[in-house]
């Protein structure tokens, strides 16, 4: 069980831009992310471009990794989204990305995240899905010697599971705010694949309930007997049509993810329940003021056994009730 971020930090508007170059800004981001309690961070910047020289991408990761004691991942834009923005051939781009992954593995990078923010198009067009899979088969084949993670933006529900899970990625990150129906794919993911649940909405005023995040982690862990060891918690990507968070808001929300990740990893059911709002675990407590475990047993915190209590208020993009 671990916690991480998806996407980049907003620019620090208080920084003296004229006095700091891009590398300095990234180190400032690393320092800020190191205070959130996340267990896996990036350098906070936008993904490396597929066309970036592998040596430069490695140097960027090494600088971030050396600046913190927290495990640090590299993030590279995927071939599908790169092709959409540049008009280049996705297969050609995939070969370049593979060279970068191999270089990162050789430098000792623990995890590389391949970001595909434009992935939603493959859900409605089978021919696009075939092309997507073909490009990613060139990116990874399992021999790279590094944990490769595929981060999918938006809703990819409707994609044939084999399109994604016949690939050799060790883990998959899903946007569960922009695409709540992505749960349908998660439950079909093989048990040996990691699942990173992007379940915290970054929009101002959105639900930041720890209990919801803990539930999401345990639900993902329950699918196919996956277990918490193969589950990560993260924010959902920033919505392209919603309000963008401020830097301070995003850092605060990331701290919520870090805390929820630590709570979700607690092995004792009784201790776990004691760390949460009792109304989220035992609905009777909200009516009577009493707190009971409600029959919760270790390892049984899956769907139907550990569901967040409904809250009054607006309904968000996930269809759940917000604050």
The reported pLDDT for the residue numbered 130 is 97
pLDDT tens digits for range 93-143: 999 999 999 999 999 999 999 999 999 999 999 999 999 999 999 999 999
What are the pLDDT digits (tens) for 252-275?
Answer: 999 999 999 999 999 777 777 777
Give phi and psi for 252, each to the nearest 5: -65, -40
Which pLDDT belongs to residue 314?
33
pLDDT of residue 269: 76
Question: What is the reported pLDDT for 295?
Answer: 34
Instruction: Tell me how far CA of residue 231 lies from CA of 188, 220, 226, in angstroms.
Output: 14, 7, 8
What tens digit of pLDDT does each residue of 213-237 get? 999 999 999 999 999 999 999 999 9
Provide the pLDDT for residue 267: 79
Mean pLDDT of the chain: 86
In the predicted structure, residue 299 carries a pLDDT above the cut 50: no
2-269 has CATH 1.10.10.10 classification: no
Task: Using DSSP, state whether 39 is helix, strand or coil.
Answer: coil
User: pLDDT confidence of 301, banded at 50, 70, 90?
Assistant: very low
How many contiguous H segments (helices) and E segments (strands) does the chain have?
12, 7
CA atoms within 13 A on the CB side of 191: 6
Cα-based angle 14, 70, 273 (whole degrees, multiple of 5): 100
pLDDT in tens, 13-61: 776 655 457 888 899 999 999 999 999 999 999 999 999 999 999 999 9
């Amino acid at each position: 069980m671990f916690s991480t971020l998806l996407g980049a930090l907003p620019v620090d508007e208080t920084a003296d831009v004229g006095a700091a170059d891009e590398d300095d800004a990234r180190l400032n981001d690393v320092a800020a992310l190191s205070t959130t309690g996340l267990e896996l961070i990036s350098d906070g910047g936008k993904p490396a471009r597929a066309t970036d020289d592998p040596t430069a991408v490695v140097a960027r990761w090494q600088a971030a990794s050396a600046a913190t004691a927290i495990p640090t991942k590299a993030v590279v834009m995927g071939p599908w989204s790169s092709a959409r923005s540049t008009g280049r051939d996705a297969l050609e781009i995939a070969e370049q990305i593979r060279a970068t992954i191999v270089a990162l593995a050789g430098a000792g990078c623990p995890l590389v995240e391949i970001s595909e923010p434009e992935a939603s198009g493959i859900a409605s067009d089978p021919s696009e899905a075939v092309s997507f899979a073909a490009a990613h088969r060139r990116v990874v084949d399992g021999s790279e010697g590094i944990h490769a993670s595929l981060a999918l933006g938006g809703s990819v529900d409707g994609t044939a599971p084999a399109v994604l899970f016949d690939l050799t990625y060790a883990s998959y990150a899903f946007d569960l705010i922009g695409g709540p129906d992505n749960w349908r794919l998660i439950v079909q993911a093989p048990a040996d694949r990691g699942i990173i649940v992007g379940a915290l909405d970054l929009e101002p005023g959105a639900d930041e309930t720890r209990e919801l995040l803990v539930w999401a982690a345990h639900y993902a862990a329950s699918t196919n007997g996956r277990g918490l060891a193969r589950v990560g918690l993260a924010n959902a990507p920033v919505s392209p049509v919603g309000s963008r968070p401020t830097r301070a808001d995003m850092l605060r929300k990331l701290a919520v993810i870090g805390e929820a990740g630590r709570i979700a990893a607690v092995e004792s059911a009784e201790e776990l329940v004691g760390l949460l709002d009792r109304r989220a675990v035992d609905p009777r407590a909200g009516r009577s003021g009493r707190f009971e475990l409600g029959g919760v047993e270790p390892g049984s915190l899956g769907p139907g056994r550990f569901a967040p209590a409904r809250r009054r208020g607006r309904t968000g993009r996930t269809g759940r009730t917000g604050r």
